[in-house]
Amino acid sequence: TPTIHKNFKGVEKTVYGRGSFGQLDAILAPHRADNEGYFVFLVDNYFKGKPLEGQVPAHAEDLSYYISVEEHEPTTDQIDQLRDEILAKKGLPSGVVGIGGGSIMDIAKALSLMLTNEGSSTLYQGLNLIKKPGVYHVGVPTISGTGAEVSMTAVLTGPVKKLGLKCEWTVFNQIVLDPELIASVPRNWWFYTGMDTYIHCVESENGRLNNAYSHAYAEQSMKLCREVYLGEHSGQTPENDDKLMVASMMGGLSLTYSEVGVCHALSYGLSKILGTRHCYANCLIMNHLEDYYPQGVAEFKEMVAYHQIDLPQGLSKDWSDDTITQMAHVSYNLPHMWLHAIGDNWQEVITIDVLKDLFRRL
């Protein structure tokens, strides 16, 4: 059988640069007459009472929600409730704008789709299950690394699955990349979320789906990550924020045209069973993957040491065998990642016991 090559829709419009957030009102203007003629703004609650709140271009008719992402990652219930409330209040909006990190961007993408697709979002967790295009949606990242700004998935945790609403219509119509917005990110999040990009690149590069196209993005993204996280100019500076925002986007594009691997497969297990946050979970796991990614893990550890990031060890001593078995099963059930990372014979190499041993290293 001939190889089917990935054929993806990208973000339609991208503005990049310091202060570009100021253009948002003008960007939305041509869309304001659509549907019921109002916009929904979803803003990370961190910005409540901060200067950015005054710069959000919400008009009198618009709905603004300040959403806390501290307690949990986005859930299917949360999206369904928000959708029902918005439709009951004002009908179908002209569009949705998400201003925040990966969590808020995923909420914005998922809400856009669920405003036009009936029933619970749990019905649509998976690939190409969405029936109709969503409303116009805009992503404004305020923390860089997940690549959620360019990805074709909106990851949601439901009662059964932690899985994305993944289809062409998930992709943002517009993104606004303003590096000024990420200046206030706390140092630990700056590290964990940035490492998500670095890990995306290590995994994208080390597997059978890697190709010249995904490699070009990964190579550039890793070069930018090295400038941001290693060496004499490393740290949270305006110059590095400019670079990190681009690194995040390119890391996301690299994995879109390749695949993630061992770290993400394990990370989904940890997050699904214990609720550990995506980027932090990846860092906890990457620390123990030298057997799979010797170079990438060595450089990751250099970055951890350089920034004196405290990654706890010995976590698994508090986990029951049952908990570890559950994590192993979640990870095992991601064959697309294993096929990429290990190959056709992955089931000979990766068994539930191998996975349990890996989790016990944490």
Residues in contact with ligand NAD by the rule CB under 6 A: 44, 46, 69-70, 73-74, 100-104, 106, 142-143, 146-148, 151, 153-155, 181-182, 184-186, 189, 193, 278-279
Give me the least distance between CB of 114 and ligand NAD, in Å please.
Answer: 15
Tell the smallest beta-carbon distance from residue 126 to ligand NAD (Å). Answer: 14
Decide which of ligand NAD, Zn ion, none touches 179; Cβ closer than 5 to 8 Å per partner kind.
Answer: none
Binding range to Zn ion, per CB under 5 A, among 1-9, 33-41, 58-66, 190-198: 190-198
Question: Is the Cα torsion angle 352, 353, 356, 358 positive or negative in sign?
Answer: negative
Residue 203 found at the interface with Zn ion (CB under 5 A): no
Q: State phi, psi for 139 to the nearest 5 degrees.
A: -115, 130
Nearest approach, Cβ of residue 287 and Zn ion (Å): 15
The least distance separating ligand NAD from the CB of residue 172, rounded to whole angstroms, comes to 10
Pick out residues in 3-42 that bind Zn ion (CB under 5 A): none
Token match 């219930």: residue? Answer: 77
**Which lies closer to Zn ion via its Cβ, residue 260 or residue 328?**
260
Q: Is residue 196 close enough to count as binding Zn ion by CB under 5 A?
A: yes
Find the binding residues for Zn ion in span 207-266 (CB under 5 A): none
Q: Name which of residues 302 to 361 contact Zn ion (CB under 5 A).
A: none
Amino acid, single-letter form, for residue 185: V
Q: Which residue's CB is nearer to Zn ion, number 117 or number 282?
A: 282
Minimum CB–partner distance for residue 46 and ligand NAD (Å) = 4
Selection from ligand NAD, Zn ion, none that 155 binds (CB < 5 to 8 A by kind) is: ligand NAD
Of all residues in the shown chain, the one whose CB is closest to Zn ion is 196
Q: CA angle 29-33-36, nearest 5°? A: 125
Q: How many residues line the site for Zn ion (CB under 5 A)?
A: 1
Phi, psi dihedrals of residue 52, rounded to the nearest 5°: -60, -30
Instruction: Tell me which of ligand NAD, Zn ion, none is bound by residue 362, counting a contact when its beta carbon lies within the kind-specific cut-off of 5 to 8 angstroms.
Output: none
Shortest separation between residue 2's beta carbon and ligand NAD, angstroms: 28
| From the list ligand NAD, Zn ion, none, partner contacted by residue 16 (C-beta under 5 to 8 A by kind) | none
Of 56-64, 84-92, 130-138, 192-200, the window that binds Zn ion (rule: CB under 5 A) is 192-200
Q: Which of residues 94 and 105 has its CB atom nearest to ligand NAD in the complex?
A: 105
Residue with Cβ nearer ligand NAD (94 or 167)? 167
Task: Provide, rounded to whole angstroms, the least separation between the CB of residue 149 and ligand NAD.
Answer: 9
If the CB atoms of residues 94 and 149 are measured against ligand NAD, the closer one turns out to be 149
Q: Toward ligand NAD, which CB reaches closer, 69 or 115?
A: 69
Strand partners for 40: 63, 96
Contacted by 210, from Zn ion, ligand NAD, none: CB < 5 to 8 Å by type: none
Distance of closest approach, residue 239 Cβ to ligand NAD, in angstroms: 17
Indicate left, alpha or beta for 261 from its phi (over 0: left) and psi (-120 to 50: alpha).
beta
Residue 103 interaction partner, one of ligand NAD, Zn ion, none, beta carbon < 5-8 Å per kind: ligand NAD
Instruction: Tell me how far apart the alpha carbons of residues 104 and 121 are, in angstroms, rounded to a whole number.
Output: 16
State the Cα torsion 210-213-216-217 to the nearest 10°.
-90
Question: CB of 128 within 8 A of CB of 170?
Answer: no
Binding site for Zn ion (CB under 5 A): 196
